[in-house]
Amino acid sequence: MGSSQGVWGSSLPITTAVTCPPVRVHPAITAQAIGEYLDAGCTEVYVNQIGEEQDAFFDFYAKEVLPRVR
């Protein structure tokens, strides 16, 4: 699906639909966004850190975001 196509039959571009706020600023909002994908039937959600500090990002994610999703 290209970025100009809608997501789930809507006119919302996929580049908008999959964008989340900065995790370290809003872990609860990020967890809610992941939950919405799971509720919609997604069985896998991929998370990516752009830039440096990969380990620190995923450590924070494991402590602050994932417990809110489960």
* 57 vs 30: CA distance, rounded Å: 13
Is the pLDDT confidence value at 63 over 90? yes
Who wins on pLDDT, 5 or 31?
A: 31
pLDDT score of 53 more than 70: yes
- For residues 3 and 14, the answer to whether their CB atoms sit within 8 Å is yes
**pTM, full prediction:** 0.61
Which tens digits make up the pLDDT trace of 9-49?
Answer: 566 555 555 555 566 668 888 898 888 888 988 888 888 88
Higher pLDDT, 15 or 67: 67
What is the domain partition of the chain in residue ranges? Answer: 21-69
Cβ contact 11:20 at 8 Å: no
| Three-state DSSP class for residue 13 | strand
